[in-house]
Amino acid sequence: MPEKKVLSARFQASFLMDNILSEKRLLADLNLNLIMQNLSAADRARSQRLLLNTLRHLERADALLLPLLKKRPTLKILNILRLATVEIIDDGDAHGIVNEYVSIVGMNKRLKNYKGLVNAVLRKISKVDKSSWNKLDIPKLPKWFRQLLLQAYGSSITHKIEKQHLERPPVDITIKTPELIDRFSIKLKGKQIIKHSLRLENAGQISELPGFKEGEWWVQDISASIPVHLFNDVKGKSALDLCAAPGGKTMQLSAAGANVTAVDLSKVRAAKLKENLARTSLNANIVISDLFKIKGFFDIIILDAPCSATGTVRRHPDLPYVKSQADLKKLFCLQYSMLEHAVSLMKPTTQLVYCTCSLFPQEGEYQVRKLLNEKHEIRVEKYLPKELDFLEKYRTEEGGLRLLPIHLAKTGGIDGFYIVKLVKV
């Protein structure tokens, strides 16, 4: 009988995949604490790694599996076969892997008749040479998604982005106290990429790493940390972080000495923000509100607007299977309305940073061009601190920064982002 905790990790991965592909639910929207309550922290991490790696290679798994099947099985069985295929290719311990997935099928009364099929197909998969796997086509993004990238960047860059999505991304962390970055670089075996950030190649269980429980750092992709670096000295200034949760930028601002008001519409997300602030011993005034209700003036404002999140597919490979083009039009309108409201909170000396973790210019460059055409008192300030001057080559026509997953590829890439700093004339 397979070890229960291992089998449970794989079972939960199949359950999550069913929710993503059948119910079209994002992993981030699932209650993982409830779903995985019987798993250890290590097994939770293992289950999610397996799930995400399988989603990255779904087309490749199907390319091997479907020719071995006389007809397409139920989605639950197909997902089990997909998970097992990717794990066999990745891990190589085929015998144990096959036995455990066959056991998972046998645990379900509705699926147990497929035990023979699963066993036979996976035995064949176990004989596949890894070099054959590597020769399979790079999985393509959904047609609507890919078309928008082709229009924006052309076929060469689009293909490179798809290739980058196959790579398991490193973990980036922001150090609360910059003076301690060398110490944590040694402790965590990390590489400093920019002033406050370390990159960890083999992070393992995040919550068990030195300094996490003590609140000395937090997980934050390098791209997501850059907006705060575009401000000049923030110490003692009033800062407004709109759509703030889970709070990476709020914590950056607070650690730098700003008086932060963090606004988020979601009670659940605001609770996570509160938890992160407590762990890091940082302070902010958390306001659970529609941002359109926020009034007054602030010295600095960040609007990390709700978006398609298409710049984060390398970390969230479930996104292409859940999002659709129908989601976009409402988002575009909402983003511009939010940007207009953020501008209304500016006084003559206010600095406003608008950003989205989207690859689509419609959610970044186009929004800012429209704003500049309609509000002549607003202009772009092309400021970069010295340690970020290497980003200047990613400057766009209207003056923002367009970051793509293929940038910094030699060190593991970055999340796709659009970032622009706005001031009043």
**Residue 33 pLDDT:** 79
User: Same structural domain for residues 112 and 246?
Assistant: no
User: Same structural domain for residues 249 and 362?
Assistant: yes
pLDDT tens readout for residues 327-370: 899 999 999 999 999 999 999 999 999 999 999 999 999 999 99
**Residue 327 pLDDT:** 85
User: Same structural domain for residues 256 and 111?
Assistant: no
User: Same structural domain for residues 235 and 104?
Assistant: no
Which range among 102-116, 163-177, 238-252, 296-310 shows the weakest confidence by mean pLDDT? 102-116
User: Same structural domain for residues 243 and 380?
Assistant: yes
**Token digits for 28?**
């981030």
Label residue 207 exposed, middle or buried (CB < 10 Å: 0-12, 13-18, 19+). exposed
Helix residue spans in 108-165 (DSSP H):
115-125, 130-134, 143-165
Angle 42-43-48 (CA atoms, 0-180°, nearest 5)? 105
User: Same structural domain for residues 110 and 232?
Assistant: no
Share of the chain above pLDDT 70, in %: 98
**Residue 7 pLDDT:** 59
pLDDT > 60? residue 308: yes
Domain boundary among 104, 134, 164: 134
Helix/strand/coil for 350: strand
**Residue 42 pLDDT:** 84
Residue 61: count other Cβ atoms within 10 Å of its Cβ: 26
The residue range of the domain holding 62 is: 4-134
Domain boundary among 134, 157, 173: 134
Q: What strands, in cross-sheet order, belong to the sheet with 191-194? A: 191-194, 197-200, 171-175, 217-219
**Residue 144 pLDDT:** 96
User: Same structural domain for residues 101 and 250?
Assistant: no
Contact of 390 with 225, CB cutoff 8 Å: no
Contact of 85 with 65, CB cutoff 8 Å: yes
Q: Is 56 inside a domain boundary? A: yes
pLDDT tens readout for residues 223-254: 999 999 999 899 999 999 999 999 999 999 99
Pick from 190, 140, 205: nearest CA to 166? 140
How is 50-70 classified by DSSP, letter by letter?
HHHHHHHTHHHHHHHHGGG-S
Query: Does the CA dihedral 227-271-203-129 come out positive or negative?
Result: negative
Domain boundary among 134, 149, 177: 134
Half-sphere exposure of 310 (CA within 13 A, CB side): 27
**Residue 29 pLDDT:** 87
Pick from 235, 221, 217, 226: nearest CA to 177? 217
Q: Tokens 């970020």 map to which residue? A: 388
Pick from 24, 31, 83, 20: nearest CA to 53? 83
Q: Is 348 inside a domain boundary? A: yes
CATH (domain of 114): 1.10.940.10
pLDDT tens readout for residues 371-402: 999 999 999 999 999 999 999 999 999 999 99
Give the Cα separation of 208 and 279 in Å (integer). 14
User: Same structural domain for residues 237 and 125?
Assistant: no
Residue of 254 and 106 predicted with greater confidence = 254
Q: Is 150 inside a domain boundary? A: no
What is the pTM for the complete model shown?
Answer: 0.93
Q: Is 183 inside a domain boundary? A: no
**Residue 43 pLDDT:** 86
Residue 69: count other Cβ atoms within 10 Å of its Cβ: 14
pLDDT tens readout for residues 408-423: 999 999 999 999 999 9
Q: Is the peptide bond before 246 cis (omega within 30 degrees of 0)?
A: yes
**Residue 3 pLDDT:** 46
Q: What is the rounded average pLDDT of the residues 295-319?
A: 97
User: Same structural domain for residues 265 and 129?
Assistant: no
Half-sphere exposure of 390 (CA within 13 A, CB side): 7
Instruction: Name the average pLDDT for the chain.
Output: 94
Residue 279 binned pLDDT confidence (cut-offs 50, 70, 90): very high
Query: Does the CA dihedral 195-201-202-203 come out positive or negative?
Result: positive
Pick from 27, 230, 14: nearest CA to 102? 14
Could you give the number of structural domains in the chain?
2
CATH (domain of 270): 3.40.50.150
Q: Is 257 inside a domain boundary? A: yes
Phi, psi of 378 (to 5 degrees): -105, 135
Q: Is 110 inside a domain boundary? A: yes
Q: Is 71 inside a domain boundary? A: yes
Contact of 78 with 40, CB cutoff 8 Å: no
Q: Is 381 inside a domain boundary? A: yes
pLDDT tens readout for residues 1-55: 344 445 588 999 999 999 999 999 999 888 887 788 888 888 888 899 999 999 9
